[in-house]
Chains A and B, each alone.
Chain A
């Protein structure tokens, strides 16, 4: 008779390793990190540019600026660029995050040589035509206005400002008028200071042919596209005092969005990995305490999570959920009581073992295959870390004990430091 009661034996991988990519340099000094596998005959190229946080409006300028990179060069208009890239079945993504602007090309190997010339123009010679800017801004503004109707989006904007302050790009709360005030000159300045060979790293992932790096060098290896890096030093994230709990009313809302959290350390801090373990216990996976209590036991929400968000110059910790407006107070009380439990009681050994195993599985998943590995590595490059970091993470997770986690909870999650926001 088959024993369906006893779980089958399992084994958790003791170490997960990623190979350090093959690193070379173009003749102008741009580092190229290669992740090679022969599996599919395609390649992905990331051009990564660091952002300088010297203006509180960086987020808007960089998101509009990067999205418009392929809207016109001095030789080609928007439509011609799109036709050419699409002709080769390639996909170009130009986007920005809080700390970087990234241009990503996905392409079958057989078309790489043909498509690179237009990518070169887009990266090195973008001109942001006035007419395209007008259309882009008008459409982006309207999408923004539609999103302002979502409690979750409102909470996201407001909470970021409460945590990082409106004088820093991390916390600046975009408003409608910022779209109206943005000029072509703002974009050109941003472009000139960002997209340059001396501010660029390249990651090459996929089936890398023997001449791939040389091909890229032919288009991006020259000294013709250096930029004046910003002399201005970065704006500091302001010191803020904790605000009173805030409830922003929204007419007609049937659910409200809740945020509780605070400014937090980032990936480079020695407590970070342990805090990640603690966060996972608290709200970082499906079986977390917040999910078990508020969703699986009380049915208060479709989902609740907590997360550590690490940025180059700071970080934040946030609990987020949406719940029926009538249940708002019950939900808040439950979240605070879970914080209290974290501070006052040590975590049971079995629960901690489960979380560690789950995290090992997560790390394995997030580094499985070269495309996942290169994405993971991209997250390390931002902090000038390399693959050794991962072995450190595995070791720290292994060693973390319940007592340490309780101390961390007391250190980082005392109730009087937590910011509370309700929208709805």
Chain B
């Protein structure tokens, strides 16, 4: 159970306060409701590039990190297809430093040419490090455009084409900021040994004067239902073959999400899971095999990945995986299986409450999706999953015409 209080400033900034009396640090999480899905098709990778630029100096403060570190703070940020999330932790006494820094970069940036040039290079190095110079590093660069034909999930957060980053101009950067980085498009959570009144006063003082921005109305092209199975083969300089199969599934706030999530746990959550026992132990075809969900805001993906042993047969690999998925659609899961994954999920949700920053992030993301109140209803939703509801989602998801398969061969 996570207690919190919530208020909204006149300019539209939503603020959540979580009191935790046992801690001497305070966590601030600032979520901006903009992700790679909000980019234009010709300017992909922008949300992420922008995340880097947010550290290049704001209108009144030349450097973001230095004053924060001087006050004992630490920070970072990440970008997904759905959101851009900034967070910091700082000794409780110095909480105002956090408000000062975060509000100034919401107010405006300096937009220095130097920062744009450097961060462009840094992002290109990040692209090389993560996607080009790793074995199988380009797998999601291939899978996304195969699974999504219309919806902007078809490009990764780093960008569809690195040239989009190379060609980014300062004008485009500015208009991106004006469009998305305004109080009415953001959610702040402060967690720690703090009082509501104190946070209200600090929020009014630092964020209150920032003008409300134009309302951004998200209208993304919906991904049409897939009617034919898709597949693709590549050959790469990697040690062994890999197999990927992805299926469309529901969005995060759909009731079916919980059944789908537990289904992925029954398939591959730990050593008692079906994949582990049937595919890793009884057949020695794979060195690794996994099933997981992307948990995206819009309709997401159910993902199966596997690495074959040297000399393993790709068609055989596909066949045994398909058989496991078919078993999920044709037979009910056992009561023991369901009991296990529910108990594990319940434990995990309690473990997640240990970490202060984690709580702040989760409160923000729930607030964005469907109101922070829902964070405390999660356990019950998982406990309400039945073998019938799992069977229903399995039948909907595991259809060949709903799948995209990537055969990733070693040279």
Interface residues of A (CB under 8 A from B): 2, 4-5, 7-13, 37, 39-42, 70, 78-79, 81-83, 85-91, 106-108, 111, 132, 135, 138-139, 142-143, 145-146, 148-151, 251-255, 285-287, 295-302, 322-324, 353-355, 357-358, 360-362, 364-365, 368-369, 371
Interface residues of B (CB under 8 A from A): 22-25, 59-61, 65-67, 69-74, 89-91, 93-94, 96-97, 99-100, 103-104, 107, 117-122, 125-126, 128-130, 132-136, 205-206, 209, 237-240, 270-272, 276-277, 280-281, 284, 286-288, 307, 309-310, 336, 339-347, 350-351, 353-354, 356
Question: Given the complex of chains A and B, what is the CA–CA distance between A8 and B103 in angstroms?
Answer: 13
Question: Given the complex of chains A and B, what is the CA–CA distance between A7 and B89 in angstroms?
Answer: 17
11 intermolecular pairs with C-beta atoms under 8 Å apart: A8-B94, A88-B343, A106-B351, A142-B310, A145-B240, A150-B134, A255-B132, A286-B74, A357-B71, A361-B74, A369-B356
A-chain residues with CB within 8 Å of residue B128 when the two chains form the complex? 254-255, 324
Q: Is the CB of A135 within 8 A of B280?
A: yes
Q: Of B25, B93, B136, which contacts A11 at CB under 8 A?
A: B93
Q: Is the CB of A323 within 8 A of B72?
A: no
* B342 nearest in chain A by CB position: A89
Question: Given the complex of chains A and B, what is the CA–CA distance between A88 and B347 in angstroms?
Answer: 9
Q: Is the CB of B350 within 8 A of A42?
A: yes
Q: Is the CB of A139 within 8 A of B280?
A: yes
Q: Is the CB of A139 within 8 A of B24?
A: no
B-chain residues with CB within 8 Å of residue A87 when the two chains form the complex? 336, 339-340, 343
Q: Of A10, A79, A295, which contacts B272 at CB under 8 A?
A: A79
Q: Is the CB of A361 within 8 A of B309?
A: no
Q: Is the CB of A150 within 8 A of B135?
A: yes
Q: Is the CB of A151 within 8 A of B23?
A: no
Question: Given the complex of chains A and B, what is the CA–CA distance between A364 and B346 in angstroms?
Answer: 30
* A13 nearest in chain B by CB position: B91
Q: Is the CB of A357 within 8 A of B284?
A: no
Given contacts A150-B135, A299-B125, contact A357 B72 (CB under 8 A): yes
B-chain residues with CB within 8 Å of residue A286 when the two chains form the complex? 65, 69, 74
Given contacts A40-B353, A139-B280, contact A89 B347 (CB under 8 A): yes
Q: Of A12, A40, A78, A296, which contacts B72 at CB under 8 A?
A: A12
Task: Output the least CB separation between B391 and chain A (Å).
Answer: 21
Task: Output the least CB separation between B45 and chain A (Å).
Answer: 14
The 10 closest A-B pairs by CB, nearest first: A299-B121, A361-B72, A89-B343, A82-B271, A82-B272, A142-B287, A10-B71, A8-B96, A89-B347, A302-B126
Q: Is the CB of B119 within 8 A of A358?
A: no
Question: Given the complex of chains A and B, what is the CA–CA distance between A203 and B222 in angstroms?
Answer: 52
B-chain residues with CB within 8 Å of residue A145 when the two chains form the complex? 239-240
Q: Is the CB of A287 within 8 A of B69?
A: yes
Q: Is the CB of B73 within 8 A of A361?
A: yes
Q: Of B24, B59, B126, which contacts A364 at CB under 8 A?
A: B24
A-chain residues with CB within 8 Å of residue B340 when the two chains form the complex? 83, 86-87, 89
Known A142-B309, A285-B69; further 5 A-B contacts with Cβ < 8 A: A7-B70, A11-B94, A108-B346, A253-B133, A368-B356
Question: Given the complex of chains A and B, what is the CA–CA distance between A322 and B287 in angstroms?
Answer: 28
Q: Is the CB of B350 within 8 A of A78?
A: no
Q: Of B118, B134, B284, which contacts A296 at CB under 8 A?
A: B118
Question: Given the complex of chains A and B, what is the CA–CA distance between A270 and B295 in angstroms?
Answer: 49
Question: Given the complex of chains A and B, what is the CA–CA distance between A111 and B339 in angstroms?
Answer: 14
Q: Is the CB of A357 within 8 A of B70?
A: yes
Q: Is the CB of A91 within 8 A of B347?
A: yes
Question: Given the complex of chains A and B, what is the CA–CA distance between A193 and B255 in angstroms?
Answer: 52
Q: Is the CB of A365 within 8 A of B25?
A: yes
Task: Output the least CB separation between B407 and chain A (Å).
Answer: 17
Given contacts A88-B343, A323-B125, A364-B72, contact A8 B354 (CB under 8 A): no
* B75 nearest in chain A by CB position: A286
A-chain residues with CB within 8 Å of residue B287 when the two chains form the complex? 138-139, 142-143
Question: Given the complex of chains A and B, what is the CA–CA distance between A108 and B354 in angstroms?
Answer: 13
A-chain residues with CB within 8 Å of residue B96 when the two chains form the complex? 8-10
B-chain residues with CB within 8 Å of residue A371 when the two chains form the complex? 354
Task: Output the least CB separation between B367 and chain A (Å).
Answer: 22
B-chain residues with CB within 8 Å of residue A111 when the two chains form the complex? 343
Q: Is the CB of A42 within 8 A of B351?
A: yes
Question: Given the complex of chains A and B, what is the CA–CA distance between A87 and B270 in angstroms?
Answer: 12
Q: Is the CB of B118 within 8 A of A297?
A: yes
* A7 nearest in chain B by CB position: B67
Q: Is the CB of B119 within 8 A of A7?
A: no
Q: Is the CB of B23 within 8 A of A302?
A: no
Task: Output the least CB separation between B235 and chain A (Å).
Answer: 13
* B93 nearest in chain A by CB position: A11
Q: Is the CB of A146 within 8 A of B74?
A: no
Q: Of B60, B103, B270, B280, which contacts A5 at CB under 8 A?
A: B60
Question: Given the complex of chains A and B, what is the CA–CA distance between A13 and B347 in angstroms?
Answer: 35
A-chain residues with CB within 8 Å of residue B281 when the two chains form the complex? 78-79, 132, 135
Question: Given the complex of chains A and B, what is the CA–CA distance between A83 and B130 in angstroms?
Answer: 36
A-chain residues with CB within 8 Å of residue B276 when the two chains form the complex? 82
